């Protein structure tokens, strides 16, 4: 057996999509305790242990229906807040846990049916308080409330005056409104304390910021905000916005990379800004190209960062510190070893490994994720990632084109369980950052305007052609697999270019752009002007409605001949179940093979491990049948 042809264990779907033993650790403000997520009754719950390892860990939440994924330490380490929705409906509630009485039930601080809590913040100037936005008064508008964490009392700070996406409250009591103009530009206005009138401060071109200005972090003194700006530049850099004048002053930039903007789509990912736990001052900034770069802007943090980077392999991911800035918890991002997490004491220089989330996964048997560049047919360079199975000659392989969502997201170098699962089955995996993906400059992003089912899809097909020309992929054994926008791309693949793909897997994908845009939540619709309406079209305008229909997979159902697997969450509020029902019904009516899986206790992303395991077992069998892979046989 050659070095290339070596034995690799055939792993089960549970090995990749079962719950981690531990994940998402962070340290308390006083440095005395470490919290993390770990299974309890087959769901992730919050556990807390002493940072000094002098006591047993305790589970402090008791959610046996749906895993907890987001939690927050508060100013007082007695209280912890976590977020939870109902079966994927995205109506997030805030729950309080009393760590002095961990056996007491969690308290729902936003106990309003059908209401969504958004934008949880802990202002440094108001210990014991939090700011939260609720659409309790009007489902389409979010008002700003102050929450007393200890008592649970909610006090309205400002009522949404209408068509305002966000309200900002400074330590000095000034109120700012974030809104879209009729043309789709983003306007920041200051409320006049006497008249209540909103007076514009600055306007940003909406087409340059389809997902809003991100980050937008108030400075501790409340006179400015640190924002990601691409004004007069192709790249997004960090500037300080003067809230009185609207003037921008550059704080930091990278000569090649954009700020790491992934958290605007997935808030659980680290923010591009690393802030001081006690003061809120800026410590460091994350940038992202092929790999991540962290630039330290504070001398103490620079010294800490040098030590943190020596603890593990890969890139520094989530970090948290106590208020002294001496005790730290850090997780690492690595393509073959997910989330190794360490404790570090800067005062003593001591460190220790806290856990590896999936200790049963041997990095030596995982597949490297390699940055590659695909050249599109019009010459545009497409940053991409190629994952090749371990232990086989990388020639003429069955391949899966794995398409990211958004479309204003991007693939990046990381441990991707889907790519690893597919590589373990013997597939090459290609992930193409097609035009319109975020994080590669303003021009690259705007190149996607008007190109759904057009050049955005051409880029994906050009990626397949590149892999075939390079010898990696067998042109007769290529599948397309994606979720959300990626699911739409999979459906476009089998309806617009049916000869390219031998199979397709659509997870919560859009089949009809017209009905999709008419069924998004009401509070979302006013803010589609500079993203979906700009990039795709407005269904309330007849000419654009016709174009949306023409770019919809269901409009070309007669061309679909490719075997299809469709997976859908029954409570999805972003891409509702009717989107999948439409395409499944239409394709089945023509006698084309369609497998359809619906999970009624899930939304736009599956959270319960048994549902993810079911989905990927089904995908495993489906792809093996049509591409000749090696499925699980249990």
Residue intervals in the chain for CATH 2.120.10: 13-195+285-355
Extended strands (E) in 311-416: 315-321, 327-333, 341-345, 350-355, 369-375, 381-387, 397-403
Q: Is 580 a catalytic residue?
A: no
- 1 pLDDT higher than 50: no
By C-alpha distance, which of 37, 17, 39, 16 is closest to 26?
37
Indicate the pLDDT class of residue 150, thresholds 50, 70 and 90. Answer: very high
- The half-sphere exposure of 325 on its side-chain side, counting CA atoms within 13 A, is 18
pLDDT at residue 617 in the model: 97
For residue 6, what pLDDT is reported?
A: 63
Give the pairing of strands 369-375 and 381-387: antiparallel
| pLDDT exceeds cutoff 50 at 634 | no
pLDDT tens string 4-14: 556 789 999 99
pLDDT above 80 for 54: no
Mean pLDDT, the chain, whole residue set: 95
Q: Give residue 628's pLDDT band: very low, low, confident or very high (50, 70, 90).
A: confident
The set of residues, in sequence order, having a beta carbon less than 8 Å from that of 194 and lying 6+ positions away, is none
Predicted TM-score (pTM) of the model is: 0.96
User: What is the dihedral sign for C-alpha 353, 273, 222, 154?
Assistant: negative
| pLDDT for the residue numbered 3 | 43
Q: If pLDDT is split at 50, 70 and 90, which confidence band does 302 have?
A: very high
Note the pLDDT tens digit of each residue in 175-207. 999 999 989 999 999 999 888 899 999 999 999
Give the pLDDT confidence of 382-409 residue by residue, as tens digits: 999 999 999 999 999 999 999 999 999 9
User: pLDDT tens, 418-446?
Assistant: 999 999 999 999 999 999 999 999 999 99
Q: Domain spanning 363-512+552-627 has what CATH number?
A: 3.40.50.1820
Per annotation, catalytic residue among 214, 254, 334, 604: 604
Q: Decide: 70 and 95 in contact? Cβ < 8 Å.
A: no
Once rounded to an integer, what is the mean pLDDT over residues 489-514? Answer: 98
From the candidates 271, 317, 384, 484, which is the catalytic residue?
484
Q: For residue 570, how many other CB atoms are within 10 A of its CB?
A: 15
Give the Cα separation of 529 and 187 in Å (integer): 13
Residues of the chain with CATH 3.40.50.1820: 363-512+552-627
Q: Helix/strand/coil (H, E, C) string of 119-162? A: EEECCCCCCCEEEEEEEEEECCEEEEEEEECCCCCEEEEECCCC
Give catalytic status of residue 604 as yes or no.
Answer: yes
Assess whether pLDDT exceeds 90 at residue 2: no
> Residue 193: what pLDDT?
85
Q: How far apart are CA 273 and CA 262, in angstroms?
A: 12
The pLDDT > 90 percentage for the chain reads 92
CATH topology of domain 13-195+285-355: Neuraminidase (2.120.10)
Among 119-123, 245-249, 399-403, 447-451, the minimum mean pLDDT is found in: 119-123
CA distance linking residue 174 with residue 168, whole number of Å? 8
> What angle in degrees, to the nearest 10, is found between the helix axes of 609-627 and 417-424?
40
Instruction: Please report, rounded to a whole number, the percentage of residues in the chain having pLDDT higher than 70.
Output: 99
Select which of 459, 572, 580, 620 is catalytic: 572
Q: Which two tokens stand for residue 273?
A: 């800004």
484 is an active site residue? yes
């Amino acid at each position: 057996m050659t070095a290339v042809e070596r034995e690799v264990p055939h792993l089960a779907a549970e090995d990749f999509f079962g719950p981690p033993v531990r994940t998402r650790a962070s340290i308390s403000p006083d440095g005395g305790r470490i919290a993390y997520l770990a299974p309890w009754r087959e769901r992730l719950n919050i556990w807390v242990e002493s940072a000094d390892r002098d006591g047993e860990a305790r589970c402090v939440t008791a959610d046996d229906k749906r895993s907890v994924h987001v939690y927050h330490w508060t100013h007082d380490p007695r209280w912890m807040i976590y977020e939870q929705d109902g079966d994927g409906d995205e109506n997030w509630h805030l729950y309080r846990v009393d760590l002095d009485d961990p056996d007491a039930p969690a308290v729902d601080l936003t106990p309003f049916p059908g209401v969504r809590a958004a934008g949880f913040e802990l202002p440094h100037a108001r210990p014991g308080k939090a700011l939260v936005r609720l659409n309790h008064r009007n489902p389409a508008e979010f008002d700003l409330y102050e929450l007393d964490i200890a008592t649970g009392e909610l006090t309205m700070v400002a009522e949404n005056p209408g068509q305002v996406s966000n309200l900002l409250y400074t330590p000095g009591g000034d109120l700012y409104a974030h809104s879209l103009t009729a043309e789709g530009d983003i306007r920041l206005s200051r409320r006049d304390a006497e008249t209540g009138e909103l007076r514009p401060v600055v306007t940003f071109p909406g087409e340059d910021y389809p997902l809003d200005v991100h980050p937008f972090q108030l400075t501790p003194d409340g006179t400015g905000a640190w924002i990601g700006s691409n004004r007069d530049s192709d790249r997004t850099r960090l500037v300080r916005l003067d809230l009185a004048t609207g003037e921008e002053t550059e704080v930091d930039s990278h000569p090649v990379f954009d700020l790491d903007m992934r958290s605007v789509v997935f808030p659980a990912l680290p923010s591009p800004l690393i802030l001081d736990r006690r003061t809120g001052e800026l410590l460091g900034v994350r940038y992202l190209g092929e790999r991540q770069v962290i630039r330290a802007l504070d001398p103490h943090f620079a010294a800490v960062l040098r030590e943190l980077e020596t603890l593990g392999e890969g890139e520094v991911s989530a970090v948290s510190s106590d208020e002294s800035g001496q005790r730290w918890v850090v997780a690492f991002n690595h393509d073959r070893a997910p989330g190794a997490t360490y404790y570090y004491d800067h005062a003593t220089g001591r460190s220790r490994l806290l856990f590896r989330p999936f200790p049963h996964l041997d990095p030596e048997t995982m597949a490297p994720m390699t940055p590659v560049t695909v050249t599109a047919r019009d010459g545009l360079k497409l940053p991409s990632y190629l994952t090749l199975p371990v232990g086989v000659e990388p020639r003429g392989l069955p391949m899966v084109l794995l398409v990211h969502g958004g479309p204003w997201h991007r693939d990046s170098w990381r441990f991707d369980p889907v790519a690893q699962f597919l590589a373990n089955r013997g597939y090459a995996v290609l992930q193409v950052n097609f035009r319109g993906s975020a994080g590669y400059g303003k021009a690259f992003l705007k190149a996607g305007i008007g190109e759904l089912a057009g050049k955005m899809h051409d880029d994906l097909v050009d990626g397949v052609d590149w892999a075939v020309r390079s010898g990696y992929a067998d042109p007769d054994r290529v599948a397309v697999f994606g979720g959300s926008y990626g699911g739409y791309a999979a459906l476009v693949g089998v309806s617009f270019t049916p000869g390219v793909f031998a199979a397709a897997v659509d997870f919560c994908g859009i089949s009809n752009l017209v009905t999709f845009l008419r069924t998004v939540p009401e509070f979302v619709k006013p803010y589609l002007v500079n993203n979906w309406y700009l990039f795709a079209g407005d269904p309330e305008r007849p000419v654009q409605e016709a174009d949306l229909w023409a770019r919809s997979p269901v409009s070309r159902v007669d061309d679909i001949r490719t075997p299809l697997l469709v997976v859908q969450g029954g409570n999805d509020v972003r891409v509702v179940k009717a989107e999948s029902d439409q395409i499944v019904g239409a394709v089945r009516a023509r006698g084309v093979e369609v497998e359809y899986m619906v999970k009624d206790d899930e939304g736009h992303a599956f959270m319960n491990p048994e549902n993810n395991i079911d989905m990927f077992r089904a995908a495993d069998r489906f792809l093996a049948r049509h591409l000749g892979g090696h499925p699980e046989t249990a």
